[in-house]
Amino acid sequence: MLATARGDASTMWPRRADDGALADAFLRVKGYASRRGEDVRRLWLNVGCPRVEDDRRSLSGVEGRRAFAHVMHLPSAVCVARGAAALPLQVKLGLLVHEVGHLIGGPGEDDADIAALEVLGLRVEYFGPLRLERLRREDVRKVMGW
C-alpha cells in the first residue's frame, strides 16, 4: 500500500522539532482528502528536500523566497523546505493543498488550484509580495476538523 521504501512512517516523523508542524499539517490535508474520497495513502512528506532548499538559495528574488515546496521530484512525494514550518497555518495548508493539487491535477499552476477547488473543495488564494498560497479561514477549519 505504500509506493516506495521512503513512504514508511519514519519519513513522517519529525526529524527536527519544527518538522512536527509540517508533518501535522500534511496529515490533516491527507486526512481531509481521504474523507473527500481521494486515495492519498501513498503520499508522503519529504521535509528538507535538498532540491527545494537549493532552489531557495539559488533562485533570485521573489522566486527563491517563495520556493517552499515542489512535487514530481520523487514518487508520490510532496517536498517542502524546513523553513515552511515557520509559516502561519493558513499558509502551510495553502502550500500543501496546492502541491497535492498538482499531484491530482498535473504540473500546471492553474491545474493544481483547479484540482484543489473542484476535487478537494478548497480555494487556494495568493497574497502579499511573495504571492504565497493560503487557505481561507473556513477552508482551514474544514481541513483541520475544527
Point out which residues bind Zn ion (CB under 5 A): 49, 51, 73, 79
CB 36 within 8 A of CB 120: yes
Contacts 24+ apart (CB under 8 A), 115-121: 119/36, 119/38, 120/32, 120/33, 120/36, 120/38, 121/36
Task: Compare residues 70 and 142 and give the one whose CB is closer to Zn ion.
Answer: 70
Asked whether 106 and 116 are in contact (CB, 8 A), the reply is no
Taking the C-alpha atoms of residue 124 and residue 140, their distance in angstroms, rounded to an integer, is 11
In whole angstroms, the minimum distance from the beta carbon of 75 to Zn ion comes to 11
Residue linked to cell 510532496: 78
Quote the least distance from Cβ 52 to Zn ion, whole Å: 5
Closest approach, Cβ 121 to Zn ion, in A, equals 27
Residue number with the shortest CB distance to Zn ion?
79
- Closer Cβ to Zn ion, 45 or 132, answer by number: 45
59 or 121, CB closer to Zn ion? 59
In angstroms, give the least distance from the CB of 94 to Zn ion. Answer: 19
Burial of 44 (0-12, 13-18, 19+ CB in 10 A): buried
The residue (of 47 and 49) whose beta carbon lies closer to Zn ion is 49
In angstroms, what is the minimal distance from the CB of 93 to Zn ion? Answer: 19
Instruction: Return the number of the residue (25 or 79) whose C-beta is nearest Zn ion.
Output: 79
